[in-house]
Amino acid sequence: MHNAARPKSSDQWQTAVCEPVKSGSQDIEAALPLSLDCYTTGRPGPRIRRPVNAQTRPPQPVFLISASDCSLEPNEVLERIRRIHKEDDVCNEAFLSDTLLVADACSSSEQTMLLRTELADEVVLGQKPWHLNFVYNVDTPASQTNIPSGPYFLRGEGVFHAWKIHTDSSSCFETTVLPTKHRYRFKNLNSIGPNGSGMSVAVPSRLYYCPSPAKPLAGVRIGIKDNFRLAGTKSAVGNRAFLNTYDQDEETAAFVKRLIDFGAIIVGKTKMTAFASGEKPIDWFDFQCPFNPRGDAYLEPGASSTGSAAATAAYQWVDICIGTDTNGSVREPAARCGVYGIRCSTGGWGPTTGLYPCSPVFDTVGAFSRSLSDLQIFAKAALSSTTKQYKTEPAQQKMVESFVEILESFLGVKKTSFSLAETWAQSPPAEAEGKSLEDYAYTSGYNPFYYDIYHEYDGFREDHLKKFGTKAYVSPSMQWRWDRGAEIPKPEVERSHEELKVLHSWFSEEVLGADETSGSTAILILPVGPTQPDYRDVYSLPGPRLGIDALSLASFMRMPQLVVPIGQVDYDSRVSGRTESFPVASSIAGAEGSDLMLIDLARQALEQVGFPTKVSTGRYAFDP
């Protein structure tokens, strides 16, 4: 609905989606793209009484003013409309049509006539007078007495929600969806933007939803990574052969169901690398890699959750995107795209039903946001009860040091630099039998990661061969990973699983463990993200993930790790030919279960010194 002019016919609303107004964020009867041929299935909903000749008019954009949130005095109505227009990203001047709806069980025909008389020809928005001819009172069922004021559509006697169509110009989404009358089932939007510039994404007005203890995520617009099943849609998991082999999913992932139960609005499924592997942008042969909007828009966007991170950085109309993290697939994209991102504690986010895996021993959920406060609200709602609350380059390096100083000041402590290898050497576990940390953990992550990423898709390769009579195509980079996995015998994987248990136990005792009061006995500050701009068109050979590094540490130890954008560094772009900026990030990690504590710690510490806890969309994460 980006037409500013007042519509003369339904053809001018080719960018709108309607659905009947219902109680509850997902109790939806229909949502039809493009044509505005809205329909209901007979469930009771708000209606008005109109002349017979008006009931055949095409869907009409209108303002609805509700007595539940606004006085129906003419001046109050005008002010409410102005606030809606200013604050709501779905509303525009076209909703100031010749019809006004009023939701007030106590209003009389004389009152509605007075409103029409007083408001007609008033200058409400811009310089044009309001050509108001009709004021109708909405008949509301008993279950819908608190219909919020906002932009709506009127068709016949039915009142419908308004959805706005945006374009996925950064190519972040694999598919975009609309809700159906079934709470956990969706259907594809099947629409593209102007001139084929990207998929269309539909979002409803935020005014229809009010967060509550039962619905803490009411109205929050969320994109989900394509390895989460969503009933009524197909999953590609970054591979065309997989997309073509299977029909649509019939069950929605358990974690996504929880978000829906809490009121979230699912807008689509975001792109990912094949099978949540570590493919680089130049390895994307089946689909186009999402574009990182930062800098010159040709920087590498990160690892397998790249679509979710890029969408969060690119679009103001998306609030939260979820991904998965195996060996850095949330943390690396968050750092590169300059958004807040958290790798949640392994196993701390509930059942994994409905998730296409990468390596189950390391897989966990993660989330991206442009605001630490929004991320905190999301995490409190979405994570299970195992989490704990908090109770109590030279330019780049300088930013990291400033972030450390902020944490030191807030906590009243001083940082201690230490070597994991030296700590191991001083007090190694008996199971190590004298081996150094490097030697003991050399293949502890390698074996299960590559074994799983290959064998978790044995069934897929068989199904594809049976259906098409051919091998399933994967990129050379993905085939290299599968080849490594095929070489590893099962006993080696079982040995590595035992090594991971020893590593986790030793780390909890000697370095960082859970604390009943604060959530974690210590906080680790870990490097994350590139130290210089990496372009998306540079090819590099895949290499084995051996030993422990800054990204795999949290994976091995099942820890949460929070990525925090802390600045941006200028660089001379070979793409744009001008000076650009790439994001700089740092990260903090705590003991398993301390997810909420990390977010709250970062937010409070940064707010205390006036450091930003929000980032912007587009070229710059922070104002230059």
Got the DSSP string for 2-34?
Answer: ---SPPSSGGGGTTEEEEE--SSSS--S--EES
Same domain, 204 and 342: yes
* pLDDT at position 518: 79
Give the span between the Cα atoms of 476 and 427, in whole angstroms: 43
Give the span between the Cα atoms of 1 and 444, in whole angstroms: 53
12 pLDDT above the threshold of 50: no
pLDDT digits (tens, 9 = 90+) for 149-163: 999 998 888 888 999
> Measured between alpha carbons, how far is residue 299 from residues 169, 292, 393, 503, 577 in Å?
16, 6, 18, 35, 14
Same domain, 240 and 290: yes
Instruction: Report, as an integer, the average pLDDT of 192-208.
Output: 90
31-45, 542-556, 594-608: segment of lowest average pLDDT: 31-45
* pLDDT at position 110: 76
- Domain termination site, one of 483, 511, 539: 511
Q: Is residue 2 part of a domain?
A: no
pLDDT digits (tens, 9 = 90+) for 527-561: 999 989 999 999 888 889 999 998 999 999 999 99
* pLDDT at position 39: 27
- Domain termination site, one of 161, 194, 221: 161
Q: Is residue 219 part of a domain?
A: yes
Same domain, 129 and 183: no
Secondary structure element (H or E) that encloses residue 365, with its range: strand 364-369
303 pLDDT above the threshold of 50: yes
Give the span between the Cα atoms of 416 and 521, in whole angstroms: 13
Give the span between the Cα atoms of 116 and 114, in whole angstroms: 5
484's CB contacts (< 8 A; 6+ apart) are: 450, 454, 544
Instruction: Report, as an integer, the average pLDDT of 212-233.
Output: 96
* pLDDT at position 59: 84
Q: Is residue 107 part of a domain?
A: yes
Backbone torsion region of residue 545, taken as left when φ is above 0, otherwise alpha when ψ lies between -120 and 50, otherwise beta: beta
* Better pLDDT: 208 or 36: 208
Same domain, 380 and 443: no
Q: Is residue 506 part of a domain?
A: yes
pLDDT tier, 6 (very low <50, low <70, confident <90, very high otherwise) = very low
Residue 568's Cβ-side half-sphere holds a number of Cα atoms within 13 Å equal to: 22
7 pLDDT above the threshold of 60: no
30 pLDDT above the threshold of 70: no
pLDDT tier, 67 (very low <50, low <70, confident <90, very high otherwise) = confident
Q: Is residue 327 part of a domain?
A: yes
pLDDT tier, 57 (very low <50, low <70, confident <90, very high otherwise) = low
* Better pLDDT: 36 or 286: 286
Tell me the three state secondary structure of residue 122. coil
* pLDDT at position 50: 57
pLDDT digits (tens, 9 = 90+) for 116-174: 888 888 888 877 888 899 888 887 665 566 789 999 998 888 888 999 999 999 999 99
28 pLDDT above the threshold of 80: no
Give yes or no for a contact between 103 and 68, defined as CB atoms under 8 angstroms apart.
yes
Secondary structure element (H or E) that encloses residue 110, with its range: helix 109-119
* pLDDT at position 31: 32
pTM of the model: 0.89
Q: Is residue 35 part of a domain?
A: yes
Per-chain mean pLDDT for the chain: 86
Same domain, 72 and 208: no
25 pLDDT above the threshold of 50: no
Give yes or no for a contact between 340 and 533, defined as CB atoms under 8 angstroms apart.
no
pLDDT tier, 71 (very low <50, low <70, confident <90, very high otherwise) = confident
Q: Is residue 6 part of a domain?
A: no
Give the span between the Cα atoms of 354 and 322, in whole angstroms: 14
Give the span between the Cα atoms of 270 and 321, in whole angstroms: 8
306's CB contacts (< 8 A; 6+ apart) are: 271, 272, 273, 289, 290, 333
Instruction: Report, as an integer, the average pLDDT of 195-201.
Output: 88
* pLDDT at position 392: 40
Give the span between the Cα atoms of 523 and 586, in whole angstroms: 13
Instruction: Report, as an integer, the average pLDDT of 345-357.
Output: 89
- Domain termination site, one of 105, 136, 161: 161
Provide the token pair at 124.
């409400």
> E strands along 14-121, which residues?
16-20, 32-33, 47-48, 60-66, 99-103
290 pLDDT above the threshold of 90: yes
- Quote the number of domains for the chain: 3
Same domain, 328 and 473: no
Any idea of the CA torsion for 103, 121, 15, 67, to the nearest 10 degrees?
Answer: -10
Give the span between the Cα atoms of 133 and 99, in whole angstroms: 6
Give the best-scoring range by mean pLDDT among 70-79, 138-147, 198-207.
Answer: 198-207
* pLDDT at position 11: 29
String of DSSP letters for 146-199: TPPPEEEEEETTEEEEEEEEEE-TT--EEEEEEE-SSTTBEEE---B-GGG-SB
pLDDT tier, 427 (very low <50, low <70, confident <90, very high otherwise) = very high
42 pLDDT above the threshold of 60: no
pLDDT digits (tens, 9 = 90+) for 441-500: 999 999 999 999 999 999 999 999 999 999 999 999 999 999 999 999 999 999 999 999
Q: Return phi, psi of residue 16, to 5°.
A: -120, 155
Give the span between the Cα atoms of 506 and 508, in whole angstroms: 6
Same domain, 148 and 36: yes
Same domain, 63 and 140: yes
* pLDDT at position 112: 79
Same domain, 124 and 184: no
**Pairing of β 158-167 and β 99-103:** unpaired
Same domain, 253 and 207: yes
* pLDDT at position 377: 95
Same domain, 325 and 453: no
Q: Is residue 145 part of a domain?
A: yes
Same domain, 137 and 48: yes
Residue showing tokens 């998929």: 199
**Pairing of β 579-589 and β 561-572:** antiparallel
Q: Return phi, psi of residue 592, to 5°.
A: -55, 130
Residue showing tokens 């007609």: 120
Domain, as residue range, for 428: 420-511
